[in-house]
């Protein structure tokens, strides 16, 4: 196995580097000697493959060594100090940067994912090679994902599509991004994936003949103009084709620009000359030309793109770039991040990681893991617009960004003192949506009162939101503390608790620690400025309070207590709105699989150590539990309503038209419900799926709300969801 790696690196590294790599391989073999992969293969195969991927990316010997050792700290008894002693501090730091936070216990998978991503981002600011190792690690794991359970396959594939592929894109490593996307697509949508594989394979001969004709035509004409070139053609990647089909609501036969022709030349001058020649042969489609040489993408990608009409009237895309640009297009920042004899060539690359530092600045404000992960994914996925300062500097911003986003991108003080804006020398409102190519001039005032809290609903970039919240935290701290305290007291009362009883002692300390907040005043301020959701804060305080004051119950003791009750009198439980037949003082929890609400027929199930779980009678899970042990079933009923709110989930399927989400939000505001969470995702045939979590009082209110949603134009189906 070592032979494969050494053959790869033989002509590229010096003897000293080769010996260190051999030493690292031997060390890794010894560390993992008792371990096997899920496939049954020796574990060492994985780190060796990771090292080969890193070599192919053009990485230095320290990175390749760290690739061989990347699982040693996490999965074996060896420590950071051992690696530092045997190799170097640099190698040990790289391995430690890749290591997950595996020894910390998390409440949810989302918290674990958020903390892992935070650590990854922080490590990246110190050394970008950390994420390159992590990407190589994920790529090999995805290549061997077939050995995992179906559930694990989908979980890893979704995480890859949400985080790792977009990270590769942000770093300009398109070669890895494409493979990660296609592998994730294969496991998340196997039917669609294999359909595309089959259909594209069926037309392979026809496609190769078509591409060959175009390549010969272009090459001959470039030669006539004395332009040396290398030309190849390929179908676009499966996931890219699939996204195009979904976004445009078209079948495969209706997608014409499935082919990309790539022309590599020696100089920038040759790039533009080649473009001119291509346009004389094939008619360009208006509006489908992009000059990424004059205006490179933030991930350093440079190329000319033009979609033209080819033979048989079929459109295809031409990409023209130099060989050096192509190297960057394939491996992005890895192509520029070289460590030779201790010298870091990071001047260019460092500038391109501005987005990373902005994201880190924002994430310090995002204490809630859900908020952090949502913002993180948005930052990775967001399309961009490129606008100019009056002096001609290019500024990249998220799609639909406003002059306020622009102002904060320039400088925090500019944003805080912003009172207006001009676009192309014309006054525009502050919520104006900027477009690529516009010149933006921010108007400021020395007597400006600072940002408005409403700006948080206008801006699109997490950087701007972070800076606006920071201003309110600093300038209006006392006001935010008082506001946050009032909000939490009201929310606590709404949930049936006294805030003073909840927020004290070790209960408060545990919640503050979870949010990484130092004091209760900081907690109040965070709620007051909108950085934390009051409902979530009280829920976490409640969880700690219940753990402390509600001892775990043994179900046998509970059953015995029920059987001893001869009168079977009805007594109220301590959970709002629920009556347990024959028992008092029980811990009650509502099953998340079916989310029962007042008016639903319900049934109780005595759980081991967690009291009575309340299910709807038609819940699939309760049917299975009854089959397993009928003796744990207990009669329950809804008590007299006291205005408590209950969580319920619904799914809306609707046409993807402009304004449909606003119509749904309007319906929510007019109903007897309170919005808890909302999430939208695209589906097939121009349909979007909207998942809504509501806080409601009873099932009648829920039915009324669903009925009103069905009246909205474009809404196809609405139903209550149960897991």
User: Catalytic: 74?
Assistant: yes
Report the pLDDT value the prediction gives residue 256, as an integer from 0 to 100. Answer: 65
Looking at per-residue pLDDT, the higher value among 391 and 121 belongs to 391
Percent of the chain with pLDDT over 70: 80
Task: Compute how many other C-beta atoms are within 10 angstroms of the C-beta atom of residue 426.
Answer: 9
The superfamily CATH assigns to domain 1-188 is Hypothetical protein af1432 (1.10.3210.10)
Q: How far apart are CA 650 and CA 295, in angstroms?
A: 45
Report the pLDDT value the prediction gives residue 345, as an integer from 0 to 100. Answer: 44
The superfamily CATH assigns to domain 646-720 is ACT domain (3.30.70.260)
Residue spans in the chain of domains classed CATH 1.10.3210.10 = 1-188
Nearest to 47 by CA among 140, 164, 130, 168: 140
Confidence of residue 303 (pLDDT cuts 50, 70, 90): very high
Name residue, tokens 């094939």: 282
Confidence of residue 186 (pLDDT cuts 50, 70, 90): very high
Mean pLDDT, range 81-96, rounded to an integer:
90
Q: Which two tokens stand for residue 304?
A: 């000319």
Looking at per-residue pLDDT, the higher value among 201 and 176 belongs to 176
3-class DSSP state of 98: helix
Is 60 exceeded by the pLDDT of residue 347?
no
Residue spans in the chain of domains classed CATH 3.30.460.10 = 191-337
596-632 pLDDT, tens digit per residue, is 888 888 888 887 656 788 888 888 788 777 777 777 8
Q: Which two tokens stand for residue 44?
A: 């060492």
Q: Which 8-state DSSP code applies to residue 36?
A: B
Confidence of residue 566 (pLDDT cuts 50, 70, 90): very low
Q: How far apart are CA 466 and CA 676, in angstroms?
A: 23
What backbone phi and psi angles, to 5 degrees, belong to 78? -70, 150
501-542 pLDDT, tens digit per residue, is 888 888 888 888 877 788 888 888 888 877 777 877 887 887
Mean pLDDT, range 335-353, rounded to an integer:
44
Which of 249-258, 445-454, 513-522, 633-642 comes out lowest in average pLDDT?
249-258
Distance of CA 86 to the CA centre of its chain: 37
Q: How far apart are CA 504 and CA 500, in angstroms?
A: 7
646-684 pLDDT, tens digit per residue, is 888 899 888 877 667 667 766 776 777 777 777 777 777
* pLDDT, averaged across the chain: 79
Residue spans in the chain of domains classed CATH 3.30.70.260 = 646-720
Answer yes or no: are the C-beta atoms of 461 and 401 closer than 8 Å.
yes
Helix axis angle for 150-159 and 174-188, nearest 10°, is: 140
Q: How far apart are CA 441 and CA 28, in angstroms?
A: 57
Q: How far apart are CA 559 and CA 565, in angstroms?
A: 10
Confidence of residue 318 (pLDDT cuts 50, 70, 90): very high
Nearest to 166 by CA among 317, 359, 411: 359
Report the pLDDT value the prediction gives residue 321, as an integer from 0 to 100. Answer: 95
Confidence of residue 96 (pLDDT cuts 50, 70, 90): confident
Q: How far apart are CA 659 and CA 662, in angstroms?
A: 5
Highest mean pLDDT among 4-8, 343-347, 582-586: 4-8
3-class DSSP state of 389: coil
Answer yes or no: are the C-beta atoms of 130 and 98 closer than 8 Å.
yes
Q: Which residues contact 41 (CB under 8 A, 6 or more apart)?
A: none
Q: Choose, from 74, 84, 159, 489, the residue flagged as catalytic.
A: 74
Answer yes or no: are the C-beta atoms of 263 and 305 closer than 8 Å.
no
Cα dihedral 517/520/521/525 (nearest 10): 60
Q: Which residues contact 198 (CB under 8 A, 6 or more apart)?
A: none
Q: Helix, strand, coil shares of the chain as percentages rounded to 5?
A: 50, 20, 30
Is 50 exceeded by the pLDDT of residue 2?
yes
The string of DSSP letters for 270-318 reads: HHHHHHHHHHHHSEEEEEEEEETTTS--TT----EEEEEE-GGG-EEEE
HEC string for 517-566: CCCHHHHHHHHHHCCCCHHHHHHHHHHHHHHHHCCCCCHHHHHHHHHCCC
Nearest to 170 by CA among 321, 379, 336: 379
Answer yes or no: are the C-beta atoms of 536 and 368 closer than 8 Å.
yes
Q: Which two tokens stand for residue 202?
A: 């069926």
Q: Which residues contact 449 (CB under 8 A, 6 or more apart)?
A: none
Nearest to 397 by CA among 449, 448, 432: 432
Answer yes or no: are the C-beta atoms of 325 and 230 closer than 8 Å.
no
Distance of CA 553 to the CA centre of its chain: 39
Full-model pTM: 0.53
HEC string for 177-217: HHHHHHHHHHHHCHHHHHHHHHHHHHCHHHHHHHHHHHHHH
The string of DSSP letters for 57-88 reads: TT--HHHHHHHHTTTHHHHSS--HHHHHHHT-
159-168 pLDDT, tens digit per residue, is 888 888 888 8
Is 50 exceeded by the pLDDT of residue 586?
yes
Helices then strands, each counted (H, E), the chain: 32, 23
User: Catalytic: 670?
Assistant: no
3-class DSSP state of 231: strand
- CATH fold label, 191-337: Beta Polymerase; domain 2 (3.30.460)
Is 70 exceeded by the pLDDT of residue 350?
no
Confidence of residue 472 (pLDDT cuts 50, 70, 90): confident
Is 60 exceeded by the pLDDT of residue 309?
yes
Terminal CA-CA length for the chain: 46
3-class DSSP state of 149: coil
170-185 pLDDT, tens digit per residue, is 777 888 999 999 999 9
Name residue, tokens 């009805």: 570
Looking at per-residue pLDDT, the higher value among 103 and 440 belongs to 440
């Amino acid at each position: 196995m070592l032979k494969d790696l050494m053959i790869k690196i033989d002509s590229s590294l010096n003897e000293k580097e080769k010996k260190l790599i051999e030493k690292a391989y031997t060390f890794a073999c010894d560390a993992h000697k008792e371990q096997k992969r899920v496939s049954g293969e020796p574990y060492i195969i994985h780190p060796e493959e990771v090292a080969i991927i890193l070599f192919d990316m053009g990485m230095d010997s320290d990175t390749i060594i760290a690739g061989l050792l990347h699982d040693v700290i996490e999965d074996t008894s060896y420590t950071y100090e051992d690696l530092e002693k045997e190799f170097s501090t640099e190698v040990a730091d790289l391995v430690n940067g890749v290591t997950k936070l595996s020894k910390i216990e998390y409440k949810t998978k989302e918290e674990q994912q958020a903390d892992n991503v935070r650590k990854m981002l922080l490590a990246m600011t110190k050394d970008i090679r950390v994420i390159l190792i992590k990407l190589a690690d994920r790529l090999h794991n995805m290549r061997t994902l077939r050995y995992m359970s179906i559930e694990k396959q989908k979980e890893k594939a979704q995480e890859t599509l949400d985080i790792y592929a977009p990270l590769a894109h942000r770093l300009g490593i398109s070669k890895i991004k494409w493979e990660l996307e296609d592998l994730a697509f294969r496991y998340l949508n196997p039917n669609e994936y294999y359909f595309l594989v089959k259909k594209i394979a069926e037309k392979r001969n026809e496609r190769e003949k078509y591409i060959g004709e175009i390549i010969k035509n272009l090459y001959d004409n470039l030669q006539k103009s004395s332009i040396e070139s290398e030309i190849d053609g390929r179908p676009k990647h499966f996931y890219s084709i699939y996204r195009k089909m979904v976004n445009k609501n078209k079948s495969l036969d209706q997608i014409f620009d499935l082919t990309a022709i790539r022309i590599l030349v020696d100089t920038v001058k040759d790039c533009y000359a080649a473009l001119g020649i291509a346009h004389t042969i094939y008619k360009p489609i208006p509006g489908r030309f992009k000059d990424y040489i004059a205006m490179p993408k933030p991930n350093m990608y440079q190329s000319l793109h033009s979609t033209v009409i080819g033979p048989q009237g079929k459109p295809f895309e031409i990409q023209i770039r130099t060989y050096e640009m192509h190297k960057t297009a394939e491996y992005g920042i890895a192509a520029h991040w070289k460590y030779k004899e201790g010298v870091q060539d990071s001047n260019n690359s460092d500038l391109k990681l501005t987005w990373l530092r902005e994201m880190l600045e924002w994430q310090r404000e995002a204490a809630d893991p859900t908020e952090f992960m949502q913002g993180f994914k948005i930052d990775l996925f967001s399309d961009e617009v490129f606008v100019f300062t009056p002096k001609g500097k290019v500024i990249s911003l998220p799609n639909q960004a406003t002059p306020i986003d622009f102002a904060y991108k320039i400088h925090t003080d500019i944003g805080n003192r912003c009172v207006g804006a001009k676009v192309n020398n014309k006054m525009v409102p502050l919520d104006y949506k900027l477009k690529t190519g516009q010149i933006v001039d921010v108007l400021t005032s020395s007597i400006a009162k600072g940002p408005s809290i409403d700006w948080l609903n206008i801006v699109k970039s997490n950087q701007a939101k972070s800076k606006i919240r920071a201003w309110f935290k600093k300038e209006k701290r006392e006001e935010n503390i008082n506001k946050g305290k009032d909000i939490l007291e009201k929310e606590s009362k709404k949930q049936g608790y006294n805030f003073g009883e909840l927020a004290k002692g070790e209960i408060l300390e545990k919640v503050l620690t979870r949010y990484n907040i130092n004091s209760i005043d900081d907690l109040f301020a965070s709620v007051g400025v909108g950085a934390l959701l009051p409902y979530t804060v009280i829920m976490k305080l409640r969880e700690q309070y219940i753990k402390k004051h509600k001892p775990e119950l043994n179900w046998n003791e509970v059953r015995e207590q029920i059987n001893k009750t001869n009168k079977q009198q009805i007594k109220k439980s301590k959970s709002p709105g629920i009556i347990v037949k024959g028992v008092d003082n029980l811990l009650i929890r509502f099953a998340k699989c079916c989310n029962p609400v007042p008016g639903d027929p319900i049934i109780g199930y005595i759980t081991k150590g967690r009291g009575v779980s309340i299910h709807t009678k038609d819940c699939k899970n309760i049917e299975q539990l009854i089959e397993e042990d009928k003796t744990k079933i207990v009669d329950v009923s809804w008590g007299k309503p006291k205005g408590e709110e209950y969580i319920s989930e619904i799914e809306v399927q609707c046409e993807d038209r402009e304004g449909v989400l606003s119509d749904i939000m309007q319906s929510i505001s007019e109903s007897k419900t309170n919005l808890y969470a909302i999430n939208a995702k695209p589906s097939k045939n121009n349909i979007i799926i909207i998942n809504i979590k509501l806080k409601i009082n009873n099932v009648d209110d829920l039915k009324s709300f669903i009925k009103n949603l069905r009246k909205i134009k474009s809404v196809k189906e609405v139903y209550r969801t149960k897991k």
